[in-house]
Structure 1
Amino acid sequence: MPVAGEIQATALVAAACRAEEARQPTPRLTDPYADLFLDALDAAGRALLAAGRDEVVHRTTIIDGLLLDEVRRHPGATVVNLGAGLCTRPYRLDLSGCREYVEVDAPEILARKAAVLDGATPSCPVRRVPGDIRGLPALAVAGPTVLVTEGLLVYLPPTDLDALATALAGLPAVTGWLADVVSADSARAMAAVAGRAQAGLTLHGLESMDTVERTGWVVADYRLLPVRRPAARPTGRPVGPPVPASRRVLDGVVLLRPA
């Protein structure tokens, strides 16, 4: 099953967020390559950019910092970025301590990235593996492995998220998994924004981390995002039992380790 075009388009919006941030007087990150992807940004993408730049940039900078920490902690590690989109981390960060940086995404996304970044020099070897992460392709990685999923889990329905988390827990030598998580309430609010922008996205938030932890992961670090969202309108869908406040998901970035 191919990755939906609407989801692929969000990779372009994330690049636009990085490009716009780099133009600010005191940018939180710089990405000299992000502008190179923006020729295809449409009206829906510009609306999503206006609504979500701050959150996307904050999320990205947190993952940047945690990833650099993990690479320093595990010299020679392989980084596997699932749903890599138009991420340019190997080009804008010093990941020279990595054995290699493996990117997995739809063939069209990876082909566009390869064409745009042709001639750019990454800080570590980069290998691109076309495939749908819902059917996790064979990765053939060696040594300690750090997993990254940014802006991905919110698009996976519960059955797909369960299957992915289970498959990742079964990979050998994984030291950690960096991921952003979105609450169910935030997912509904984000879907409303996407609907107004006619972006056609279906989003799935988490009520608690139980969905991931029961597949063989534990939360080692949790960095909250400073998100302010209007409440979403009730959907009429049945609501499960209340989640204790101590277990409730808040929008943020997590570092997961194998249980």
Structure 2
Amino acid sequence: MREDVVTGPDEQDPIDPQREHRGKVDFTGVQWGSVEWTMLCMLYLRACESRLAHPILGDQRAAQDVSRIDYDFRRIHRRIAPAFNQFGVALRGAHFEAWITDYLNRRPDSVVLHLGCGLHSRPVRLAVPRDVRWFDVDLPPVIALRRQLYSESDTYRMIGSSVTDPGWLDELPTGGAVLIVAEGLLMYLTPAEVTELLHRLVDRFDTGELLADLLSEWGPRLSRIMTSGIIKWGTRDGREITRWDSRLRLVEDVPVVDGFDRIPLSRQRFLYRMVHAVPTSRNYDRLYRYVF
């Protein structure tokens, strides 16, 4: 699970997929604590946020998918405290999607590589220009689950592979423009793996942008205490990326918690305001936009 997700009891009513839409897709084999389980937690948080009267992200497709999936979401609800965590997920997603939409408006003929896509609904929910070719990439077990909810088309493909395996790039076109979206991914790779991935992608296309969220230098420190060191590296200002591949240029960055004033619930808005007020917590998770 992401390092910035608080766990514990929660007073918000859980979504009950068994009541809303019985057993359409069987995910009961997903093991508690696995990568696939983390993906379901993120999906559930987006679904919870979409139920609010004035959501920030408003991912209605996430709510539909939760209602279709046969899994113990009540247990997930008790574990991940949606009343607080749904807003971090929503703020991060809204920042990413504003950048994605802006890029596609400027380059409606581009390729999109959504790395570590999980169960995000972006290719069907966003206004994607018809000439865009969108590739969702994640580990084979994740894509196997995803295929139960989504179908491919002439302009939409799913690739089951680790992003560190160079073989998956053979399924991509070459040249032209690309938008690389890496949400909740790069901090789990080693610096050497990130460097190799960036080199391969920038080599393959003529121009493009990279959108990524990165944790501060506190990320790996906290990870060694809390999660056996699954966070491999942290950043002070996002410029490690530009040093690892000098063709990439940092043009914009923003804290995930920017926009906390949009949170519609007063208690949670106050808590996020406190997070935003302290530089260490405000800058713990930032989004970065690079161009090449």
Alignment TM-score, normalising by the size of structure 1:
0.76
- Match of residue 160, structure 2, among 130, 150, 164: 130
For residues 173-205 of structure 1, what are the alpha-carbon distances to aligned partners after superposition, in whole Å with 9 as ceiling and x for unaligned? 23101111111214544676x65xxxx771234
1:74 and 2:107 correspond: yes
Name the residue aligned to 1:242. Answer: none
- Taking a change above 3 Å as real, the CA distance of residues 54 and 158 of structure 1, as seen in their structure-2 partners, is same
Q: Distance in 2 between matches of 1:45 and 1:160?
A: 34
Q: Does the Cα contact within 8 Å between 1:104 and 1:133 map onto a contact in 2?
A: yes
Q: Does the Cα contact within 8 Å between 1:154 and 1:203 map onto a contact in 2?
A: yes
1:47 and 2:79 correspond: yes
Q: Distance in 2 between matches of 1:151 and 1:168?
A: 18
What amino acid is aligned across from residue 240 of structure 2 in structure 1?
T
- Measured after TM superposition, the shift of residue 159 of structure 1 is 2.5
Q: Distance in 2 between matches of 1:113 and 1:169?
A: 27
- Match of residue 63, structure 1, among 96, 101, 106: 96
DSSP 3-state at the match of 1:71: helix
**Gaps spanning 5+ residues in structure 1: where?**
232-244
Name the residue aligned to 1:11. Answer: 39
- Match of residue 188, structure 2, among 155, 160, 163: 155
Aligned residues: CA RMSD: 3.0
1:183 and 2:216 correspond: yes
Name the residue aligned to 2:22. Answer: none
Q: Distance in 1 between matches of 2:81 and 2:285?
A: 18
Q: Does the Cα contact within 8 Å between 2:220 and 2:229 map onto a contact in 1?
A: no
Q: Does the Cα contact within 8 Å between 1:181 and 1:254 map onto a contact in 2?
A: yes
Indicate the structure (1 or 2) with the bigger Cα radius of gyration. 2
Q: Distance in 2 between matches of 1:160 and 1:171?
A: 17
- Measured after TM superposition, the shift of residue 44 of structure 1 is 6.1
Q: Does the Cα contact within 8 Å between 2:255 and 2:285 map onto a contact in 1?
A: yes
Bigger Cα displacement from structure 2, 64-73 vs 41-50: 41-50
Name the residue aligned to 2:286. Answer: 252
For residues 220-246 of structure 1, what are the alpha-carbon distances to aligned partners after superposition, in whole Å with 9 as ceiling and x for unaligned? 1112122739x9xxxxxxxxxxxxx9x
Q: Distance in 2 between matches of 1:116 and 1:89?
A: 13
- Measured after TM superposition, the shift of residue 147 of structure 1 is 0.7
Name the residue aligned to 1:237. Answer: none
What amino acid is aligned across from residue 30 of structure 1 in structure 2?
G
Q: Does the Cα contact within 8 Å between 1:22 and 1:29 map onto a contact in 2?
A: yes
Name the residue aligned to 1:92. Answer: 125
What amino acid is aligned across from residue 129 of structure 1 in structure 2?
I
Name the residue aligned to 2:249. Answer: 218
1:140 and 2:140 correspond: no
- Taking a change above 3 Å as real, the CA distance of residues 187 and 8 of structure 1, as seen in their structure-2 partners, is farther
Give the total of aligned pairs. Answer: 229
**Gaps spanning 5+ residues in structure 2: where?**
1-32, 258-271
Q: Does the Cα contact within 8 Å between 2:223 and 2:229 map onto a contact in 1?
A: no
Name the residue aligned to 1:235. Answer: none
Name the residue aligned to 1:241. Answer: none
Alignment TM-score, normalising by the size of structure 2:
0.68
Identity in percent: 22
